[in-house]
Amino acid sequence: MPLVRISLREGKSTEFHETLMEQVYLAMRSGLGTPENDRFAVISEHGESCYSNSGDFLGIDRSDDHIIIQATVLAGRSVDQKKAFYAAVAENLATELNVRGEDIFISLLEVAKEDFSLGNGIAQFA
C-alpha cells in the first residue's frame, strides 16, 4: 500500500505531472508488485529557494530537472524488488519524459501493516 510523494522544481505542465505519476505507478506495479489501482500519490513543486538537489554529491551531475520520489510502502520487499523498482522508474521516466537517470532520486520508507489507514479510521491491513 504505497503513498508516493514527488517533489520537483516548479514549472512543469499538468501533462508532465500526470505522466510522471503514471510512470512511477507502473514501475511500482512491475518492480514492487503493487496492486492494480493502488495510486495514492501527490506532487509538490518548489521554487529555486525551496529545493536543493545536492549538486554533484557522490559524483552524480544533477540538473534543475531533478525529481525526488519518496514512496512509503509496506515492509517486506526484497532487495531485488527494490532494485527492479528503481530501474523501472529510471527507464520509464527516460522513455516517457526524457528525464535523465542522474536527475532521479528515490527513497523507500518501509512501514508495518498497521501504519496505514485508508479511510474510515480503520487500519485495513492490521
User: What is the SS3 assignment for 105?
Assistant: strand
Closest CA to 26 of 78, 80, 76, 92: 92
Of residues 1, 2, 32, 102, which has the active-site annotation?
2
Which are the contacts of 114, defined by CB distance < 8 A and separation ≥ 6?
123, 125, 126
Q: DSSP letter string over 66-89?
A: -EEEEEEEES---HHHHHHHHHHH
Asked about 35 being catalytic, the answer comes back as no
- Catalytic positions are 2
